[in-house]
Structure 1
């Protein structure tokens, strides 16, 4: 069996994602597609617009054979930790290939870039520290440090978000000593951050979420596979399509009532960032607070990730305990097709960490944070649905 792995969020699943799955299978000749998917809270510091179980079903209906969750301890982290967690799971599951989308579209420049940065690591790190001291945000410091090395023009543009993630995937593969072969597919249609829906049928997830915030689900129908749109529209009639504003009252309560000393113990609370957020916590909305708090040093993504950790009450010591070896402590199976089930039965004896279908009993480390993420995610839901986290958290995997 040939297996290709993809790292995804599906927030929500759209035509571009369906294209990626189809191309991943085609270019690698894979029999099985394994998706490692973020759960409730995502890499850019945002809540998922719909629960993970619904996104799992969308993925399975459109070409994934196995969906495994990327634990919370990795899903709301900067790119290197996010990538290492996802690649670790794909390595465990025996993926032969790792396929990601990128603006570059060919893998050779990424391999050259990884080699270039490895060769110039000391100099690069020195430049990053220098630009950070000037007050640059980490992405800008990293980009400036890279340019200071006078790289070849043939190397990928690291200012593009998918190119940056692609590099981290390759670095994770190399650092883990994994045998999987990285491949990339050129992104088509809208750019990653585009908020406007294009005339063609592929839009960015950002644009789709933006549209869902202000209009009915019908406005995004042309940009989603029929099966995904049906699931989304049916769900939207019963429960909220989640966005940060739903959590703002809960975040405000913490920022305004918890002592500054305790806030400073939160994971991601560095260099007084927690005081900056508390200073603007009386803003009229989450989006206004972010605009007021954003500085040259702190990007929107950095602020949002800090907000998630404060919202969940994750301390530095808790995250350190959950990340003792920097890799997932278990794999949570969210869903599978018949082909996916056959593959797991064939492969399961080789796993060195447990593959779980639910996480019952006493919870510690990564599982404890996962349960906290589930409880928090459902806080804004109507009272009749507020306990749904228990159901979604304990139900068996989706099986198609």
Structure 2
């Protein structure tokens, strides 16, 4: 079976994702679509609006054949580390092609940009370090470094968010010496950061904003999601009465900052450049999570960087626990969330040649990353009231994978 890999978050799974899925399958002539999906916390440092199980089920009901989880240690990271974890996972699953959405829409400029980047990598690194020393955020320092080596004005514009993420995938594919073939399709209609739903293909940001602000599934929101996602929302709300967002965790984060000393705060992953002092200084003035973020945000401390730090603080993930991911050359396990009959067939064909374990529940395999995963899931479900929490939280430990 020929397999196409998708790197996704599905927060939530919407009509644009359906377009990406169908277009990728057609472009790569794939028999099977494998999605590696972030779990309950996401790349930009946010709790997913629905948990991973309900997002995975919506995807499986709409045409994805196999959904595997991107480990937390890679999921809540900047683009290059996020890409590394996803590419290592798809390579371990022996997927043939990775197809991503981009503003560019043509893969050739990505190949050319990679060749140009490798020829100028030393200068890029030098320019990146200059930007960071000047106090620029990592994304802004990277954008300026790309600009210095002429990768924002040539055929591939690396100032655009999906081009940047796609380029990270391409770099990982080639730097890690995988056999994966990269492909891309052009994003259609909505832009990554659009905040309003303008048509049936809308950004995930605008859909989440509409649902959370209206406190229900308005007709506008329903127009931008497939029926499977609509049912996933209804099911999850029935079980939990919660759609997750940062305000649910505000008082817990306040309590954590109040009670931890500076030395302990300093051990948390993402707690850099004196951020622990800024947290202590602002904690008593913050009236909401949104307000706290506004108090903390500076030119150096970007919104995304702060959110990632808060995720790691919520899950008590330390710098020491994250050290190993930089040297990792292969993924230690594959966590299956769900599959349909075609996905089962694909796994059965490939598993005899896999040299890493397939994991369907947390206690099946002992690994430090799964210990972190368990903490992350516990933290995520704290937004659910206690009498309803066990039902959804224990899914990770007790229940089997989704068989669609």
Establish whether TM, by shorter chain, passes 0.5. Answer: yes
Residues 321 and 365, structure 1, Cα contact 8 Å, conserved in 2: no
For residue 152 of structure 1, report the CA deviation from its aligned partner. Answer: 7.2
Q: Deviations over 1:269-326 (max 9, x none)?
A: 1111222233222301111111111111121111100111111111111222566625
1:233 aligns with: 234
With over 3 angstroms needed to count, the CA separation of the structure-2 counterparts of 1:175 and 1:151, relative to structure 1, is: closer
Q: Give the secondary-structure state (helix, strand or coil) at the position aligned to 1:347.
A: helix
With over 3 angstroms needed to count, the CA separation of the structure-2 counterparts of 1:190 and 1:252, relative to structure 1, is: same
Residues 9 and 37, structure 1, Cα contact 8 Å, conserved in 2: yes
Q: Give the secondary-structure state (helix, strand or coil) at the position aligned to 1:335.
A: strand
2 CA distance for matches of 1:330 and 1:169? 20
**1:1-400 equivalent positions in 2, closer than 5 A:** 1-151=1-151, 153-198=153-198, 200-215=199-214, 216-219=216-219, 220-239=221-240, 240-282=242-284, 283-320=286-323, 325=328, 327-360=330-363, 363-387=366-390, 388-400=392-404
1 CA distance for matches of 2:32 and 2:193? 30
For residue 260 of structure 1, report the CA deviation from its aligned partner. Answer: 0.6
Q: Give the secondary-structure state (helix, strand or coil) at the position aligned to 1:100.
A: strand
Q: Give the secondary-structure state (helix, strand or coil) at the position aligned to 2:13.
A: coil
Greater Cα offset, 360-369 or 210-219: 360-369
Q: Deviations over 1:221-273 (max 9, x none)?
A: 00001121122133224420000110111111111110011100111111112
Residues 73 and 323, structure 1, Cα contact 8 Å, conserved in 2: no
Q: Give the secondary-structure state (helix, strand or coil) at the position aligned to 2:218.
A: helix
Normalising by structure 1, we get a TM-score of 0.96
Residues 92 and 330, structure 2, Cα contact 8 Å, conserved in 1: no
1 CA distance for matches of 2:342 and 2:96? 16
Residues 84 and 327, structure 1, Cα contact 8 Å, conserved in 2: no
2 CA distance for matches of 1:244 and 1:106? 36
2 CA distance for matches of 1:15 and 1:152? 29
Greater Cα offset, 120-129 or 321-330: 321-330
Residues 93 and 351, structure 1, Cα contact 8 Å, conserved in 2: yes
The number of residue pairs the alignment matches comes to: 399
1 CA distance for matches of 2:256 and 2:59? 35
What is the RMSD computed on CA atoms of the aligned residues?
1.5
2 CA distance for matches of 1:43 and 1:269? 17
For residue 218 of structure 1, report the CA deviation from its aligned partner. Answer: 2.6
Residues 104 and 163, structure 1, Cα contact 8 Å, conserved in 2: yes
The answer for unaligned runs of 5 or more in structure 2 is none
Residues 333 and 357, structure 2, Cα contact 8 Å, conserved in 1: yes
Normalising by structure 2, we get a TM-score of 0.95
2 CA distance for matches of 1:333 and 1:144? 39
Q: Deviations over 1:182-204 (max 9, x none)?
A: 00011112111111110x21110
The answer for unaligned runs of 5 or more in structure 1 is none
1 CA distance for matches of 2:160 and 2:81? 18
1 CA distance for matches of 2:382 and 2:191? 32
2 CA distance for matches of 1:76 and 1:197? 26
With over 3 angstroms needed to count, the CA separation of the structure-2 counterparts of 1:151 and 1:328, relative to structure 1, is: closer
1 CA distance for matches of 2:378 and 2:324? 20
